[in-house]
Structure formats: structure tokens, C-alpha cells
Amino acid sequence: MPPIPVDEYPLHQAPLSLAYPASSDRNFYDRCYINAHDRTGEVFLITGLGVYPNLGVIDAFACIRRGDQQHVIRMSDALGDDRMDQSVGPYRIEVLDPLKELRVVCEGDDHGLSLDLHWRGSYPAVDESPHVMRGPSGKIILDAQRFAQVGTWEGFIRVDGEELTVSPDQWVGTRDRSWGIRPVGEAEPAGRAAAEPDPNYGFWWLYCPIRMEDHALVFIFQETAEGHRFLNDALRVWPEESGRGVETLGFPKVDIQYRSGTRIPTGATITATEPDGTPLVVEIESKGYVALAAGCGYGSDPQWTHGLWKGRDWVERATYDLNDPANAAATQFGMLDHVGIARCNGQVGAGLFEHASIGRHDPSGFTDFMSVAP
């Protein structure tokens, strides 16, 4: 294969053309996740674009929840040579000012969902800790790096002909970009894991990037079934002009409040530690959520997942009713992204409250896959 255009730039990290990732793992990916909401929970947009060089695929999606329905448009195509071109079908992302401003466009009126949004980062983007997970056999199933940022939005969203005005005084959001290895594309053979499933398996995850009035908070935690926390980020991000940089906030205690009879959280209390040792208590309230496994390509979505080869120039519209029992796995036992309203030290902020608890988690009192809150 000849060089690709981006090979002209001094960006190489391995003795390979930038057409190829340094890893030959079929699950190598490079993608972004973006959300936007008006703080009320009445409307919530989640969108993103990813490339999968070892699968030769590029795809994107946009999902907006209104009421109890999630409306999704998703696009996929063959990955081209111009890696600076973040576009697929009617969808594109334009980097206006790196790490500060983006434009996200989906010209999908033919499918009932369009948007044109301008992102402005409120505080500097921050690196998260490297994230590594192994499967039951010891094989690496996730080895990724990510940066995160909070900010505001301006523009419009149009759903089935109804246009919503997006103004930066009300609309906020969070975004991240991650790259590395995670399960993508067609499922690999399950092998022994299917024949001998672990009845004590547990996956517990909490991710909360929050835009406060004069700073950002970024919390990321992952725990085993026993409650051992092997990923812990607790950061406070100050404005660039303040000169205060990024502060670490210790090893927080977390209390998730669940709706009775479910694993759907209604809120969380995060008790972190100030640099001087005093407690920092953050109360987060859910104002509504998007189920990532219902149309967005994450987790166990049976219709579409990231990196699938769908042929060239593929575009599809789908609508999911979250009250439909067919979507119960996505809402009850999947990853949920909530509009989170946070209160801390007299300030009120807004951002993402992302949580999943699947299988056993001793600290929460969940003993198996079917356990729910009392």
C-alpha cells in the first residue's frame, strides 16, 4: 500500500505508515464520544465517530432521547486514506481549534435527524489514566488511552422536522477521544468463556465529567465483583488562565442510589478528598438517561455495534421505545448515560453521570446477574 497523505507530517509513533496502527490486533480503534443536553433531562443527544484501521471500517452515530424514545441515525463505510477527514455519509466532525473548538454536523433530514453544533471547551482537556482489562482467559480485551473535556454547545438539532435551538447559556456537554484496543466489529468466537461462564462475574463502572461554575470535575472508577478498584481518577480541572492546572482528589468513596427493583441509578454521592485532606462531597442527581445498548452501538446491542462491516454508503434510522420489554436488557442491565446535575460547595454543575453494574458487586449488595436494588 502506498503512503497516505498524513504520512507527510511528523506524527509517526512506529516504523509504519500511519495507514497502519502499531498494533495488529483486529480490535484496534480510534473514536470520539460526544454528548449535549439542556440540563433538564427532557432532551439528550449522544453521538460519536470511530475508525477501525485493521477492519477497514469507519462509522458514526447520533442518538437523541425525547420522552421514552431514542431516535438514532447511524452511518458506516469503507475507511479511506485521508485520516484527517472525519466524515462518513451525512456525518462529519470538523476540528476548528484543536482541544478547544469542534463542529459536529449530520445532514440527515432524509432520515429524520439532523444537527449542526459548535462545541467550545470550557476548561482544558485532561488525560485519563490508561485503562487495561483482561478477559477470563487472560487475553487483553481493553487497552486504551483517553482524554476528556467539558464545554458548551451552540447550533440546532432537528428531529422529524421539529427544530431545537441549542444555545450555549443552557446547553452543556462532555466529550472524550479514546484509542487503543476494545471489542469492535463482528464478534470473535467465545470459546471456553461460553462453555464455562463465570457465575461470579462482575463489572462495575462510574464515569462523571462535570462542568461546574468555575472548574471541572472528572471522576472515573472501575471495580471488580469484590469491590477492588483498579481504575481510579479523581481530578479537578481549573481554567487555563488561572494557572492552577489539575488537582487530584484522592480515592473517593462512592454511594450509588438505585431505583427500587432495578439497577437504574437515581443519583450518587462521591466523597473525595481536597489536597489539604478535607472531604469534598459531590451530590449528583440523574435527570434522565440514554441506554447506550439501544441503538448507539455499545455493549450488547443486537442490531448494530461499532466497527461492523455493513457495506459501502450504509445509513440507517431506528427508533427504540425504552418501555418495550425487548429493550429491558439495555435499560436494566446495560450502560446508562445520565444527564447529571451536581452540587458541591454551594455550586451547581451539569455533565455526564455514566454508570453500569453488571453481574455481581459485593459493595452494592448485588450477588448475581439478576440481583436488583431492594
Residue 180's pLDDT is: 97
Residue 195's pLDDT is: 81
Residue 252's pLDDT is: 98
Which residues neighbour 32 within 8 Å (Cβ) at sequence distance 6 or greater? 48, 49, 50, 93, 175, 176, 177, 178
Q: Which of 67, 43, 50 is nearest to 157 (CA)?
A: 43
* Phi, psi angle pair for 328, to nearest 5°: -65, -35
Q: Which of 216, 128, 118, 212 is nearest to 177 (CA)?
A: 128
Tell me 199's DSSP state: T
Residue 348's DSSP bridge partners are 343
Cα 80 to Cα 136: distance, rounded to the nearest angstrom: 35
Residue 86's pLDDT is: 98
Rounded mean pLDDT of 298-307?
89
* Phi, psi angle pair for 335, to nearest 5°: -75, 125
Block residue for cell numbers 500511519: 18
pLDDT digits (tens, 9 = 90+) for 204-251: 999 999 999 999 999 999 999 999 999 999 999 999 999 999 999 999
How many percent of the chain have pLDDT more than 90?
90
Question: What beta strand segments (E) does 21-171 contain?
Answer: 28-37, 43-52, 57-66, 69-78, 86-88, 91-97, 101-106, 113-121, 126-127, 131-134, 140-159, 162-166
Is the pLDDT higher at 19 or at 302?
A: 19
Residue 332's pLDDT is: 86
In angstroms, what CA-CA distances link 193 with 84, 135, 343?
39, 9, 42
Residue 355's pLDDT is: 98
Which residues neighbour 7 within 8 Å (Cβ) at sequence distance 6 or greater? 17, 18, 19
User: Does residue 370 surpass a pLDDT of 80?
Assistant: yes
What DSSP letter does each residue of 132-153 carry, written as one string?
EEE-TTS-EEEEEEEEEEEEEE
Residue 194's pLDDT is: 77
pLDDT digits (tens, 9 = 90+) for 174-202: 999 999 999 999 988 888 877 888 888 99
Residue 355's DSSP bridge partners are 206, 336
Q: Which of 75, 71, 35, 34 is nearest to 51 (CA)?
A: 75
Residues 173 and 119 sit within 8 Å (Cβ to Cβ): yes
Instruction: Give the count of beta carbons closer than 10 Å to the beta carbon of residue 222.
Output: 19
Cα 214 to Cα 128: distance, rounded to the nearest angstrom: 20
How remote is the C-alpha of 174 from its chain's centroid? Answer: 9
Q: Which of 166, 222, 192 is nearest to 45 (CA)?
A: 166
Long-range contacts of 6-12 (CB under 8 A, 24+ apart): 6/82, 6/83, 6/84
Residue 364's DSSP bridge partners are none
CATH of the domain spanning 26-184+200-364: 2.40.370.10
pLDDT digits (tens, 9 = 90+) for 106-133: 999 999 999 999 999 999 999 999 999 9
